[in-house]
Amino acid sequence: MMEEQQTETAATTDSSGIRKGRFSEGMDPLFAGFNASIGFDRRLFREDIQGSIAHVRMLGAQKIIPTDDADRIEEGLRSVLDDFEKGRIEFREDLEDVHINIEEALKNKIGEVSGRLHTARSRNDQIALDLRLFLKNQSVLIKKVLLGLNWALIEKARNHIDLIFPGYTHLQRAQPVRLSQHLMAYFEMFRRDWERFVDSDKRIDVMPLGSAALAGVTFPIDRKMVAESLKFAGLSRNSMDAVSDRDFVAEFIFNCSLVMTHLSRLSEELIIWSTSEFGFIELPDAYCSGSSIMPQKKNPDACELIRAKTGRVYGDLITLLTILKGLPLTYNKDLQEDKEPVFDSLDTTLASLRVMSGLVGGIKFNAAIMLEAASAPYLAATDVADAMARQGIPFREAHASVGAIIRGEPTNKRFNPPTPEEMVESRCQEGATGKRSVIRQIEEGEDFLRRSGYLNSEAD
Ligand code: ARG
């Protein structure tokens, strides 16, 4: 019985042949499925082949393998790439991961000479390379989408420059502000997010090949050549670090987490503003759903989903940090578990950013209701206290007497509150909510979008 099972196991699992030398027994099918990463790392097949082409060219140029063989392998890899792109070859679970799937496809195409490709390389430095190539590209995309959201925000800010509404602290009406000032606050958050991706790009942009399993290789490789052909800015300095480092992945997910934090805060505000209690905005129908029972309902689903998906991305971050914690040097299979969190956080963040950009573009503001809410006399309390202070009364004293008036104490003081427009306009210094200041912010923001290439490129 036992023996039968083992024969069957062996027959189902050593298709790749990497167990050929060392193992006398096949893999348990249950474990084979558990061990396989092809279900998710297939997403890296382009990067994997791109890396292999750069590697094999270098092997040929350095005469580590015959140039003819290098050429045949390169040609084979290009054709395998095309086969995978067009779906002519399917990924096979029994071939464990993306690397073995590609190796096997190459072998089927060009025969045993394909075996020379893995000279001076390990899957440990190979997967580090793939992930770095992948995140380099994805960072370009996510930065562009972030700028797209900022463009949507700045357009709204420009078009509603004169709209005044209450600014809040503790979710209590505090002082009148321009809506544009509020929107430009989010612009600043997403600009910092963009900068954060720019900053962490340099830690992704490091070429790890040549580290092999952990210690480097015994062949006269040319790492610089590989780095240059793959357009990496530099080489990893320590082979043991290079195969075990996933800090750049953690950083990427953290960057996504903070983007989601900002999206979630914005979502929450839009949800509140769209309630009948507030009535400040009307969300675009295209981003809302109805209720199956209550005909009057229009629900802010997009905002709610973004708010909830933020939790997913935080989860991805904690997953990765927990994987890394306590890992001894160097490569450990634990690191295979980095893929799903990073793919998930990337996909979730990109989708959330795109949905939010579309939604922001379609928001309608109810200017009259918003101004009305900013016109409650007590919103002028600070300004009245300021006026008293200008007349020589110590501010603390002025603060107390205005407070007493608001509480309803009788007073002989004349209380002549300024209008919301006057209050907003009296705050004219840099960064404040006065018109000149907000226009300056918008112009500077447009300048930033231009400098970062957004206004010249196609929006994504
Ligand atoms: N699938 C592996 C990963 O994602 C590739 C590296 C495997 N290396 C190894 N020695 N088993 O990390």
Q: Which residues contact 235 (CB under 8 A, 6 or more apart)?
A: 206, 207, 210, 223, 224, 227
CA of residue 133 relative to chain centroid, distance: 16
Averaged pLDDT for residues 289-297? 79
**What is the mean predicted confidence (pLDDT) over 404-411?**
84
- pLDDT score, position 9: 38
Q: What is the mean pLDDT of residues 52-65?
A: 98
**Residue in 324, 333, 335, 337 to alter for ligand 1 test, most ligand atoms within 8 A of Cβ:** 333
12: pLDDT confidence band, cut at 50, 70 and 90?
A: very low
- Could you give the residue range(s) of every CATH 1.10.275.10 domain in the chain? 30-119
Q: How confident is the model at residue 22, as a pLDDT?
A: 81
For the entire predicted model, the pTM comes to 0.93
Of the pLDDT bands very low, low, confident and very high (cuts 50, 70, 90), residue 5 is very low
- Greatest CA separation found in the chain? 101
- Regarding the beta carbon of 123 and ligand 1, being less than 6 Å apart is answered yes
Q: What is the mean pLDDT of residues 203-213?
A: 98
Please check the confidence at residue 14 and state whether its pLDDT lies above 70: no
> What pLDDT sits at residue 2?
43
Crossing angle (nearest 10°) for helices 435-451 and 179-204: 30
pLDDT at 397 over 90: yes
The pLDDT of residue 325 is: 98
Percent of the chain with pLDDT over 90: 82
User: Mean of the pLDDT values across residues 387-394?
Assistant: 91
Fold of the domain built from segment(s) 124-371: Fumarase C; Chain A, domain 2 (1.20.200)
Could you tell me the distance, in angstroms and rounded to a whole number, from the CA of residue 213 to the centre of ligand 1? 10
User: What integer is the mean pLDDT of 311-321?
Assistant: 98
Identify the residue whose C-alpha is closest to ligand 1 atom 7.
123
Joined tokens for residue 396: 């603390």
315 compared with 385, residue with greater pLDDT: 315
Q: What is the pLDDT of residues 30-51, one digit of tens each?
A: 999 999 999 999 999 999 999 9
DSSP letter string, 322-342: HHHTTPPSS--GGGGGGHHHH
Ligand 1 centroid to 333 CA: how many Å? 6
Contact 97 CB / ligand 1 (< 6 Å): yes
Cβ–ligand 1 contact at 35 (below 6 Å)? no
The pLDDT assigned to 7 comes to 39
Which residues of the chain are in CATH 1.20.200.10 domains? 124-371
Instruction: Please say if 79 is a catalytic residue.
Output: no
Q: Whose CA is nearest to atom 11 of ligand 1?
A: 333
Residue 169 has pLDDT above 60, yes or no: yes
- Residues 64-76 pLDDT 10s: 999 999 999 999 9
Q: Rounded mean pLDDT of 6-19? A: 53
Q: Which CATH number is correct for 30-119, 3.40.50.10490, 2.30.110.10, 1.25.40.10, 1.10.275.10?
A: 1.10.275.10
The answer, yes or no, to whether residue 1 has pLDDT greater than 50, is: no
| Eight-state DSSP code of residue 438 | H
